[in-house]
Structure 1
Amino acid sequence: MTFASWTRRAVLGAAAATLATAVLPATTVPVQAQSLDKATVGVLALSSSGPIFIAKAKGYFEREGLDVTLSMFTSAQQVPVAVASGDVDFGVTGLTAGFYNLAAKGAITMIAAQSRDEPGFPLSAYVATNAAHAAGLTKPSELKGKRIAITTIGSTFHYMIGILGQKYGFTVKDVTMVPLQDVPKMVAAFKGGQVDAILAPSTVARQLAADGAGQILGWAGDETPWQLGALFTGPKTIQTRRPVVEKFVRAYKTALAEYHAAFNVKDSSGALVKGPGYDALLTIIADATKQKPEIVTAGLPYVDPNAKLLIDDVVNQVKFWQSEGQVDKTLDAKSIMDLSFIGQ
Structure 2
Amino acid sequence: MSITLSRRQALGAMAAVAAVGTLGAPAFAREKVKVGALRFTSHAPSFVAFERGYFAEAGLDVEFEFFQAAQPMAVAIAAGDVDFGVTAITGGLISLAEKGAVKVVGGALQEEAGIDGQMILASNAAHDAGLTSPAALKGKTFGISTAGSSFHYMASKIAAAEGFPGEIGFRPLQKVSAIIGALKSGQIDAWAIVPHIAKALTAAGAVQTIGRVADYLPDYQVTTIFTSADNAAEERSKTQAFLAAFSKGAADFNAALIDRSTGDAAAEEMVKLIHGYVYTDRPYEKAAPSIRNGAMRITPEAALKMSSITDQLDWFKAESLVRGDIAVDQLVDASYVASI
TM tier, shorter chain?
A: 0.7 to 0.9
Say whether 1:61 aligns with 2:50. Answer: no
Residue 110 of structure 2 aligns to a residue whose secondary structure is strand
Task: Give the C-alpha shift of residue 216 in structure 1.
Answer: 0.7
Decide which of 325, 332, 337 is 1:337's aligned counterpart. Answer: 332
Q: TM-score, normalised by structure 2?
A: 0.85
Residue 117 of structure 1 aligns to a residue whose secondary structure is coil
- Check the 8 A contact 2:86/2:225 in 1, yes or no: yes
Decide whether aligned partners of structure 1 residues 266 and 166 sit closer, same or farther in structure 2, where only a CA change above 3 A counts: farther
Residue 95 of structure 2 aligns to a residue whose secondary structure is helix
Structure 1 gaps of 5+ residues are 1-30, 268-272
The number of residue pairs the alignment matches comes to: 307
1:182-217 CA distance string (max 9 Å, x none): 111112212222111222332332232222222110
Decide which of 26, 29, 34 is 1:40's aligned counterpart. Answer: 34
Rounded to whole Å, the distance in 2 between the matches of 1:110 and 1:198 is: 27
Letter in 2 for 1:153: A
Rounded to whole Å, the distance in 2 between the matches of 1:329 and 1:104 is: 11
User: Could you say which residue in structure 2 is the equivalent of 1:72?
Assistant: 66
User: Could you say which residue in structure 2 is the equivalent of 1:296?
Assistant: 291
Larger Rg: 1
Decide which of 260, 269, 273 is 1:280's aligned counterpart. Answer: 269
- Check the 8 A contact 2:110/2:297 in 1, yes or no: yes
User: Could you say which residue in structure 2 is the equivalent of 1:50?
Assistant: 44
Say whether 1:305 aligns with 2:294. Answer: no
Task: Give the C-alpha shift of residue 175 in structure 1.
Answer: 0.9
Rounded to whole Å, the distance in 2 between the matches of 1:76 and 1:184 is: 15
Q: TM-score, normalised by structure 1?
A: 0.84
- Check the 8 A contact 2:115/2:296 in 1, yes or no: yes
Residue 335 of structure 2 aligns to a residue whose secondary structure is helix
- Check the 8 A contact 2:100/2:330 in 1, yes or no: no
Letter in 1 for 2:176: V
User: Could you say which residue in structure 2 is the equivalent of 1:90?
Assistant: 84
Decide whether aligned partners of structure 1 residues 275 and 302 sit closer, same or farther in structure 2, where only a CA change above 3 A counts: farther
Task: Give the C-alpha shift of residue 41 in structure 1.
Answer: 1.1
Correspondence 1:174-185 to 2 at 5 A:
174-185=167-178
- Check the 8 A contact 2:124/2:186 in 1, yes or no: no
Rounded to whole Å, the distance in 1 between the matches of 2:121 and 2:93 is: 26
Decide whether aligned partners of structure 1 residues 283 and 96 sit closer, same or farther in structure 2, where only a CA change above 3 A counts: same
Say whether 1:112 aligns with 2:106. Answer: yes
User: Could you say which residue in structure 1 is the equivalent of 2:320?
Assistant: 325
User: Could you say which residue in structure 1 is the equivalent of 2:259?
Assistant: 265
Letter in 1 for 2:240: E
Alpha-carbon RMSD across the aligned residues, in angstroms, is: 2.1
- Check the 8 A contact 2:54/2:248 in 1, yes or no: yes
User: Could you say which residue in structure 1 is the equivalent of 2:195?
Assistant: 202
Letter in 1 for 2:337: I
- Check the 8 A contact 2:48/2:249 in 1, yes or no: yes
Structure 2 gaps of 5+ residues are 1-24, 281-286
- Check the 8 A contact 1:261/1:276 in 2, yes or no: no
Rounded to whole Å, the distance in 2 between the matches of 1:324 and 1:263 is: 37
Task: Give the C-alpha shift of residue 266 in structure 1.
Answer: 7.1
Decide whether aligned partners of structure 1 residues 274 and 320 sit closer, same or farther in structure 2, where only a CA change above 3 A counts: farther
User: Could you say which residue in structure 1 is the equivalent of 2:20?
Assistant: none
Rounded to whole Å, the distance in 2 between the matches of 1:146 and 1:265 is: 37
User: Could you say which residue in structure 2 is the equivalent of 1:190?
Assistant: 183
- Check the 8 A contact 1:126/1:140 in 2, yes or no: yes
Q: Percent identical across equivalent pairs?
A: 33
Rounded to whole Å, the distance in 2 between the matches of 1:335 and 1:227 is: 18
Q: Which has the higher contact order (CA 8 A, sep 6+)?
A: 2
User: Could you say which residue in structure 2 is the equivalent of 1:224?
Assistant: 217
- Check the 8 A contact 1:123/1:201 in 2, yes or no: yes
Rounded to whole Å, the distance in 2 between the matches of 1:140 and 1:121 is: 19
Letter in 1 for 2:179: M
Large movers: runs of 4+ above 6 Å: none
Correspondence 1:235-274 to 2 at 5 A:
235-265=229-259
Rounded to whole Å, the distance in 1 between the matches of 2:266 and 2:114 is: 21
Residue 300 of structure 2 aligns to a residue whose secondary structure is coil
Decide whether aligned partners of structure 1 residues 279 and 215 sit closer, same or farther in structure 2, where only a CA change above 3 A counts: same
Rounded to whole Å, the distance in 2 between the matches of 1:335 and 1:301 is: 28
- Check the 8 A contact 2:123/2:185 in 1, yes or no: no
